[in-house]
Structure 1
Amino acid sequence: MYELKTKENDSSVIEFIENVDSPKKREDAYKLLDIFTETTGCQAKMWGPSIIGFGSYHYKYESGHEGDAPLVGFSPRKAKISLYFATGDTKREELLKDFGKHTTGKACVYINKVADIDVDVLKALIHQSVAFLRETYPNQ
């Protein structure tokens, strides 16, 4: 049976941010912490060793694979800051057009710094992701 590595845990979010090497990334992590907390109304929790997540949902795929994941989150990584939003939502792509300087991976949106993005669009992405996941996985 596959075991999920990224689980909610009791590690300190503040301690994690304080251990971010770059002072600029640390500052951005605190800005993102405030934005995500205010926008979701959820308390920040560590997911795995390096993801700061907000809220949670339980998913179950047709394949039978299931687990828990944060509704939204971010991680101040060495190269870029990873932002985690719901995938599979067409509104996400529309919002990203006005987001500012970013790149996308399969599930993540990557930014260099908060100053590169439109914070109002970030808040809209957070709201959209939470609404999409709550609609898709309603039994939370």
Structure 2
Amino acid sequence: MNAEVDEFLAGVTPALRRRDAYTLLDLMHRVTGEEPVLQHPGMVGFGRYHYEYASGRSGDAAAAGFAPRKTATVVYLSDGTAAHADALSRLGPHTSGVGCLYLKNLDDIDLAVLEDVVRSSYATLTAGIFGQRARDGAEG
């Protein structure tokens, strides 16, 4: 594992969030086959994807990732949570934003469902150039 990622995760508090971070680290590494990289402060990313929007804006971002925050762990779904609505209905307790899934305790959710969601999102984002913003509601 990347020493920078290891150092970051070792300092995550509270302990529950740190435990969940290591679980997600293993899950996302297994699903993506990519090594973790510390992205902007506090986010662990896996793989890259290129996006180009109709507005002309383009760039590269992590294709899968998470951020352990004090109140919840954030799982990033850049293709939008709407694309995974059916699976998320079976996940267990969570809240979500346009492209973010907020999890308070991984013991309370179905990790197999989360793994399927991460796998699907990663596959969508890395299939080519992604051209839709999460807030515009990816169709899936």
Relative to the length of structure 1, the TM-score reads 0.85
Partner SS for 2:127:
helix
Structure 2 unmatched ranges of 5 or more: 131-140
Aligned to 2:107: 115
Bigger drift between 114-123 and 85-94 goes to 85-94
Deviation at 1:134, TM superposition (A): 2.2
Matched, 1:77 2:69: yes
CA distance in 1: counterparts of 2:22 and 2:81, whole angstroms = 27
Q: Matches of 2:65 and 2:98 in 1, distance apart?
A: 15
Aligned match of 2:16: 24
In 1, Cα distance between equivalents of 2:89 and 2:15: 29
One-letter code of the match for 2:66? F
* Counterpart-to-counterpart distance in 2, 1:26 and 1:93: 27
Q: Which amino acid aligns with 1:74?
A: F
Number of residues of Structure 1 aligned to a counterpart in Structure 2: 129
Are the counterparts in 1 of residues 79 and 125 from structure 2 also a CA contact under 8 Å? no
Using the aligned pairs only, state the percent identity. 37
Pick from 33, 36, 39 the counterpart of residue 47 of structure 1: 39
Runs of 4+ that moved beyond 6 A: none
Matched, 1:36 2:31: no
Deviation of 1:31 after TM superposition, in Å, equals: 0.9
RCO comparison, higher one (Cα < 8 Å, 6+): 2
RMSD: 1.8
